[in-house]
Amino acid sequence: MSWRHLFSKSLAADPDRLHFAAHSHHLWPDASHDGHMAAWQDAAVLADHKWDKVMGPVWSEAQQHVADELNLPDPATLCFAPNTHDFIVRLLSAIPERPAKVLATDGEFHSFRRQMTRWVESGDVVLEAVPAGNLLETARSGDYDLIFASHVLFNSGMIVSELDQLAALSQPEGPWVVIDGYHGFMAIETDLSPIADRVFYLAGGYKYAMAGEGACFLHAPHGFAERPAVTGWYAAFDDLALAPGDVGYAPDGRRFLGSTFDPSGLYRFNAVQEMLKSEGLATAAISEHVAVLQAQFLESGLLTGFELLNPLGDGQHARFLAFRGETAPWLHEMLANQNIVTDVRGDVLRIGFALYHDHADVKRLTKIIGKLI
């Protein structure tokens, strides 16, 4: 079945383009346009009073959508921000000791890796980065303030499946366990209910939630990191009557709020979520659609000179295929010259599949790759 009609505006914007980088910048469905226009309309009609709606029903609806997807018992543990970097900064600021001792995998995304490297330079962090397969053993044997791991590694598509064992190490006084779900949220089914009281989870709407920028979120368990040192006035949104000099915090996930933000991402997120519900497109259904297309691509027998870092199997799988080979940058460039969008990280070519692809798209992709190699 084809779902391309849900993305008619994005696809019509460049009809000849084949966009196989949904894991990098997911094309926006038509519903996101409706949500964006709703944000503008509320700003025009409500003006100053739009924040009553944004921090009320819009915020609550977005919280419930995320909680439903992750099976979180309490939507109030969720906070939204323009990007996940904001949350990382606020989380580290809540650790009282310096330097903070951080353990992470060696496959974390650029933003986390860059910030940690700079904090190491400044003496604020002592970082130990290990292969994902060694993370749990290292975490059990070490003394850390924070343990950070992507659920799905961005460079290889490997899935870290030991979340419950990592969660067992988490304590309010430390270590804190943080799961980066940026390539997992709405890409693989995730049930956080058994560990929601012990782990932080952050992700965003830019990729598989199809909502674009500005709709990132953090699940913050009660009793953990209650007073981030980096904080904006929205974190005290419920209690603006505090005496001068008193620094109050919201009693829930909103303690991680910053200051004034662009709420349009939340409108888009809510609109896309409602579209998916009306179409009966839960994460499992989209993953099944993608898996069929990934299998179709692999059955073509192309890229035999590359190493597939994340082979298909019986379990859950990333929404992209990661191929390692010396000619990955060359092939990426050649595909770009044909108006085919993939992406490359070093010697790894990533080909991302999505709801807006169908069998004809994959057939066209394989035909062009066949001519190039």
| CA 138 – CA 141 distance, rounded (Å) | 5
| CA 100 – CA 91 distance, rounded (Å) | 11
Looking at every residue in the chain, the average pLDDT score rounds to: 96
For residue 236, what pLDDT is reported?
83
User: What pTM, to 2 d.p., does this model score?
Assistant: 0.95
Q: What does the DSSP assignment read for 195-236? A: TTTTEEEEE-SSSTT---SS-EEEE--TTSS-S-SS--GGGG
pLDDT tens digits, one per residue of 340-355: 999 999 999 999 999 9
What is the 8-class DSSP label of residue 157?
Answer: -
Residue 1, both tokens: 């079945």
For residue 75, what pLDDT is reported?
98
221 to each of 92, 170, 200, how far by Cα in Å? 15, 11, 6
Contacts of 15 (CB under 8 A, 6+ apart): none
Q: Could you list the beta-strand ranges (E) of 327-373.
A: 340-341, 343-345, 348-352
Please check whether residue 50 is in contact with residue 230, taking contact to mean a CB–CB distance below 8 angstroms.
Answer: no
Q: Could you list the beta-strand ranges (E) of 64-204.
A: 78-81, 100-105, 125-130, 146-150, 176-180, 199-203
List of domains in the chain: 4-30+281-372 (3.90.1150.10), 32-276 (3.40.640.10)
pLDDT tens digits, one per residue of 228-271: 999 998 998 666 556 667 788 999 999 999 999 999 999 999 99
Residue the block writes with tokens 């819009």: 58
Q: Which residues of the chain have pLDDT under 50?
A: none
CA neighbor of 166 nearest in space, from 146, 190, 186, 193: 146
